[in-house]
Amino acid sequence: MIILFYIAAIVAVISTLCVILQSNIVHALIYLILSLLAVAVIFYVLGAPFAAMLEAIVYAGAIMVLFLFVIMMLNLGKISTDQERSWMKSSGWVAPGIMAAILLAQLLNVLGDYEYDLVPVEVGVMEVSTLLFGPYVLAVELASILLLAGLVSAYHLAKK
């Protein structure tokens, strides 16, 4: 199982890098889907099958489909690819690179002190549900109100 974790982690990191480096937006999107699926595998290996499936259904399945839908509508062609490529070449890499390196160093520093306990405990659907509709019911309700507000405003905009 731990080998599966490392494979999925490497796939996730590489595909996420490809998302940033790709200048073709459809290719970038495919890499993003791959990255999300790899994260789903990581969730599964760590003992959270429900979260893994939700990651695949909601993020890789539904949200990315909507992204692709918008890309289809926009009719982006060679012009946007060239524009993206010109942005990639510029020296804008330096400052974000340094900041990301600092963050990475901090993360490695924190992880170095961490006590590892790599025995995954499987948390099933039932446990997640009892938590969601028990102590966290307020958060669930707030999230649903947020979604409802989004739905109503989208309906309003579409009606105009």
Partner 1 sequence: MTFEVGSILNIGAILAVVIGVAAMLIWVERRLLSLWQDRLGPNRVGWFGLMQVVADMVKIFNKEDWVPPFSDRFVFVLAPAIIMTVILLSFGVIPFAPGVGIADSNVGVLFVLAMASLGAYSVMLGGLSSDNKYALLGSLRAAAQMVSYEVFMGISMLGVVALTGSFDLREIVLAQADGWYVIPQFVGFVIFLIAGVAESHRLPFDIPEADQEIVAGYHTEYSGMKFGMFFVGEYLGLVLVSSLITVLFFGGWMGPGFLPPVIWFAAKAFVFICFFILLRAAIPRPRYDQLMSYGWLFLLPLSLINLLVTAFIILSSQ
State the residues that interact with partner 1 by CB under 8 A. 24, 26-27, 30, 33, 49-50, 52-54, 56-57, 60-62, 64-66, 68-69, 71-73, 124-125
- For residues 36 and 60, the answer to whether their CB atoms sit within 8 Å is yes
Cβ nearer to partner 1, comparing 17 with 72: 72
Minimum distance, C-beta of residue 110 to partner 1, in the bound complex (Å): 32
Interior angle at CA 99, CA 31 and CA 67, nearest 5: 25
For partner 1, give the closer residue by CB, 99 or 127. Answer: 127
CB-nearer residue toward partner 1: 73 or 108: 73
- Taking the complex as a whole, how short is the minimal distance between the CB of residue 68 and partner 1, in angstroms? 5
Task: Fill in the amino acid letter for 69.
Answer: F
- 16 versus 49: smaller Cβ distance to partner 1: 49
Beta carbon nearer to partner 1, 66 or 110? 66
- Least distance (Å) between residue 56 CB and partner 1: 4
Q: Report in angstroms how near the CB of residue 77 gets to partner 1 at its nearest.
A: 9
3-state secondary structure 76-102: CCHHHHHHHHHHHHCHHHHHHHHHHHH
CA distance between the termini of the chain:
53
Spatial distance between the Cα atoms of 153 and 110, rounded to a whole number of angstroms: 43
